[in-house]
Structure 1
Amino acid sequence: MQWVNQTRVVEFTILGFPGLMTAPVFSFLILLIIYIFNVVGNTLIIIVTRMDPHLHKPMYFFLGNLSFVDISFTTVTLPKMLAIFISQKKTISFAGCMTQMYIFLAVGVTESFLLAVMSYDRYVAVCNPLKYTLIMRSGLCILMVLGCWLCGFLSVLLPVTIISRLPFCQSHVINHFFCDISPVIQLSCSDIHHLEMLIFFTAAIVILGPFSVILMSYVCILLKILHISSATGKKKTFCTCASHLTAVLIYFGTIIFMYIRPKSKSNLDLDKQTSVFYSVIIPMLNPLIYSFRNIEIKNALRKLLRIKLLFPSL
């Protein structure tokens, strides 16, 4: 291992999942299938929401952006893991590690804010339907999405910058399958107490802030549903929100467990398994969650596939 000035590490070793290395070919194929399924599924969502005029609505505009975020989520981590299985080379450069950490965290925060924006869209659609088109104008929707990306990339800039300046003079083996914050900073030989406090408060703001907006939106939606007299109307209204609510509960449940809890209860092996769920499995499941429960998405997918089968040259 090499150092610069005895404190600046040049590369890290990613431990990954040692158990999977006993069958690298099988593990590589499983991860490759998951990655392809993720990219194909989310790309289809992006394509149908752009191509089908019936889906040119704020709800599907946000959904297309969520699909792009989910593709980015796995693209930041899985290709590196696939390369490890092929080459058996587990190292990642210091610059590559910091870049991976920054993009992963930024995309994760972006998804949190995007889910909050989607909940606000559902709130307006259910609680103020007559003014929906007036409130959710295309210009406002674009600004909301840009704001989500801006919040994502700015909010994690300071913590990652501080981490990139830490001295790493202990073990350089990251007990994870990518460069996440907790397993990286634990390798530093400096006092990281204040950094951990900064990370905790930043995580609390960028996770609990959007989650609070989502909770308030769904409380209002629930109250509105309870005032609907017909059972059919209640079911129809709830179905318009069910897919988003499912995605929210799964995603925020895991990241709150990961990033907002006492460090004394931190377990790197458990964190690693949880990270697989919210960074790999959830992005893969989101296209299924939204397409299975959404008639408009299913119809648009059928139409797209029918066109491609009849006119393959298009």
Structure 2
Amino acid sequence: ADWEPDGVTFFILQGLSSFGEKQMIFFVILLLGYIVILGGNSMIIFTLTDPKLDSPMYFFLANLSFVDIVYTTTTIPKMLFGFLSDVSTISVPICFLQSYFFIQLSITIRITLTVMAYDRYVAICNPLRYASIMTRPTRLFLVAGAWVFSALFWLPPTIIAVRQPYCGPKVVAHCWCDPSSVRQLACADTSMDNVVSLSFGVVNQLTTGLSILMSYVLIGVSLSRMAVTQRLKAFRTCSAHLTVVTIYYKVLSSSTALVYAALTPFLNPVIYSLRNKDPKVQSAKKEMYNK
């Protein structure tokens, strides 16, 4: 791509200017939300470092909280800075880095949610084999696999986009470097970009979404064979995850980038704190607060 003075060296993030006189109100709301995201998810990670909570479910939850922190940090600090300036600009290389890591981390989140669904499936449908299946090496492999796969998976669309020439206009119609918005600024045919990005996106969303759906179908079948008390107890173990997944895929269909970037990481700590009835978690929280 031509990023020399003859081409485009920076983009203007137009989405932030659309708030007009309400910019400071949205700045305060977003800042408070970001603080809650950092604080809530950090608290989950800190709480789950307790040796008493050394279980696969909590291990995956801590990883999800960490991904949420990094995921929101790729966009929200830049948004906050943009609210305080008349014109929000971003250099072309940083724009593509932001775009890549945002999508890569969103894929990591989806895979992590899929792994958590599989964990709940094993716990409910194969309880006697749970400990032998979800061993520490298996947990580490699943988490590492989520990070490595997402990092490699989104490289081809990013490389194709980076190699395009950008000679103007240079106004991105979002408050972050959304790939589809940046693609419209290329001074060349982007048909291949559109096909590749759409194909990769659909494949990832379908595979993770269908895997989660299949896990819960099998869980539902298993629950139908249990007594009422066992059914309620088993359902409670996956209710928080099911709530998070439902909200995540509902927000995913939203066209509002700000909501997509911040809402689910904001709600995850709240949902898991309210839904989690494990005495060990409550005990760990009390110990943490008493220190």
The interval holding the TM-score normalised by the smaller chain is: over 0.9
Q: Which runs of 5+ in 1 are unaligned?
A: 259-270, 309-314
Residue matched to 1:267 = none
- Give the superposition deviation at 1:232: 1.8
Question: Greater RCO between the two (CA within 8 Å, min separation 6)?
Answer: 2
Q: 1:72 and 1:21 mapped to 2: Cα distance?
A: 29
- Give the superposition deviation at 1:218: 0.5
Q: 1:88 and 1:129 mapped to 2: Cα distance?
A: 58
Query: What is the identity, as a one-letter code, of the residue corresponding to 2:270?
Result: L
- Give the superposition deviation at 1:23: 3.4
- Give the superposition deviation at 1:19: 4.1
**1:304 pairs with one of 277, 288, 291:** 288
Q: 1:252 and 1:23 mapped to 2: Cα distance?
A: 29
Give per-residue Cα distances to partners, 1:241-271, cap 9 Å, x unaligned. Answer: 111011111212333x36xxxxxxxxxxxx2
Are 2:17 and 2:87, in contact at CA under 8 Å, matched by a contact in 1? no
**2:88 pairs with one of 80, 87, 90:** 90
Structure 2 residue 23 is the aligned partner of structure 1 residue 41: no
Structure 2 residue 192 is the aligned partner of structure 1 residue 197: no
SS in 2 for 1:141: helix
1:50-69 → structure 2 map (5 Å cutoff): 50=49, 52-69=50-67
SS in 2 for 1:187: coil
Q: Which runs of 5+ in 2 are unaligned?
A: none
Residue matched to 1:131 = 129
Give per-residue Cα distances to partners, 1:159-189, cap 9 Å, x unaligned. Answer: 1111111112332110111001111101112
Across the aligned residues of Structure 1 and Structure 2, the Cα RMSD in angstroms comes to 1.6
Structure 2 residue 131 is the aligned partner of structure 1 residue 149: no
- Give the superposition deviation at 1:235: 1.1
Q: 2:28 and 2:20 mapped to 1: Cα distance?
A: 12
Q: 1:81 and 1:190 mapped to 2: Cα distance?
A: 29
Are 1:21 and 1:27, in contact at CA under 8 Å, matched by a contact in 2? no
- Give the superposition deviation at 1:193: 1.3
Query: What is the identity, as a one-letter code, of the residue corresponding to 2:154?
Result: V
- Give the superposition deviation at 1:295: 1.5
Residue matched to 1:232 = 229
Give per-residue Cα distances to partners, 1:266-309, cap 9 Å, x unaligned. Answer: xxxxx2x1x22221011000001111000234443232112x2x
Q: 2:103 and 2:233 mapped to 1: Cα distance?
A: 36
**1:253 pairs with one of 250, 253, 264:** 250
SS in 1 for 2:230: helix
Query: What is the identity, as a one-letter code, of the residue corresponding to 1:243?
Result: A
Taking structure 1 as the reference length, what is the TM-score of the superposition? 0.88
SS in 2 for 1:17: helix
- Give the superposition deviation at 1:153: 0.8
Residue matched to 2:4 = 4
Give per-residue Cα distances to partners, 1:210-234, cap 9 Å, x unaligned. Answer: 11111111111000100002x2211
Query: What is the identity, as a one-letter code, of the residue corresponding to 2:23?
Result: P
Residue matched to 2:27 = 28
SS in 1 for 2:74: helix
Q: 1:218 and 1:303 mapped to 2: Cα distance?
A: 34
**For this pair of structures, how many residues does the alignment match?**
288
- Give the superposition deviation at 1:5: 6.7
Are 1:247 and 1:289, in contact at CA under 8 Å, matched by a contact in 2? yes
Q: Percent identical across equivalent pairs?
A: 40
Query: What is the identity, as a one-letter code, of the residue corresponding to 2:194?
Result: E
Q: 1:162 and 1:243 mapped to 2: Cα distance?
A: 38
